[in-house]
């Protein structure tokens, strides 16, 4: 009997990919056989980096810092647009992974999980609480601090920190 692969989708805009995002990735890896980091083209958030840039940045991060406990766990970075549940079905995922920082995150994520359960009842949504030292990190705040010239090196990798500096330096 062939073992069914446990496939999970971790969706987000990831603009930029933070240490909190990497923490969620590292904590999910022991639970799945294949993790797809799904970069949303969600244009309403007015991203700093294009979707292709975000995919590239995350791919670079994974090659440098991903700590898979199982050498059989694979990670893939893909972009998507449209309904997340449709994307999850297309990649044959059984799980959607969502990180939670605060109660305000939970309210929104709870509504989204309920809708996704209606649209794709075969796909479970799993919530992971952010580790305590990452609970206050959000991509939006990191971008704002970086835009104003603040030091965000404790919230992102050195590579992402450099890319933020380059982006804001070129825009000024």
Active site residue 139: yes
Q: Among residues 40, 139, 157, 163, which one is catalytic?
A: 139
Q: What share of the chain is helix, strand, coil (3-state, %, to 5)?
A: 45, 20, 35
Per the structure, the count of domains in the chain is: 1
Active site residue 54: no
Cis peptide before 104 (omega within 30 of 0): no
Query: CATH number, domain at 83?
Result: 3.40.50.620
SS3 call for 114: helix
Q: What is the mean pLDDT of residues 61-86?
A: 81
Burial 3-41 (b: 16+ CB within 10 A, else e): eeeebbbbbbbbbbbbbbbbbbbebbbebbebbbbbbbe
Confidence of residue 4 (pLDDT cuts 50, 70, 90): confident
Q: Is residue 155 part of a domain?
A: no
Q: Is residue 94 part of a domain?
A: yes
The predicted pLDDT at position 171 comes to 61
User: Across the chain, what does the average pLDDT equal?
Assistant: 90
Tokens at 99, concatenated: 């990180």
């Amino acid at each position: 009997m062939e073992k069914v692969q446990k496939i999970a989708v971790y969706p987000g805009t990831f603009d930029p990919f933070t240490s909190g995002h990497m923490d969620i990735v590292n904590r999910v890896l022991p639970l799945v056989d294949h993790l797809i980091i799904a970069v949303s083209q969600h244009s309403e958030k007015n991203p700093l980096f294009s979707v292709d840039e975000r995919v590239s940045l995350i791919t670079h991060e994974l090659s440098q810092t991903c700590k898979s406990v199982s050498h059989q766990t694979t990670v893939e970075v893909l972009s998507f647009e449209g309904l997340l549940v449709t994307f999850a079905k297309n990649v044959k995922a059984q799980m959607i992974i969502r990180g939670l920082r605060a109660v305000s995150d939970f309210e929104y994520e709870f509504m989204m999980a309920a809708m996704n359960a209606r649209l794709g009842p075969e796909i479970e949504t799993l919530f992971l609480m952010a580790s305590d030292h990452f609970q206050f990190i959000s991509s939006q705040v990191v971008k704002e601090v970086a835009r104003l010239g603040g030091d965000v090196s404790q919230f992102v990798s050195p590579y992402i920190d450099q890319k933020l500096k380059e982006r804001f330096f070129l825009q000024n």
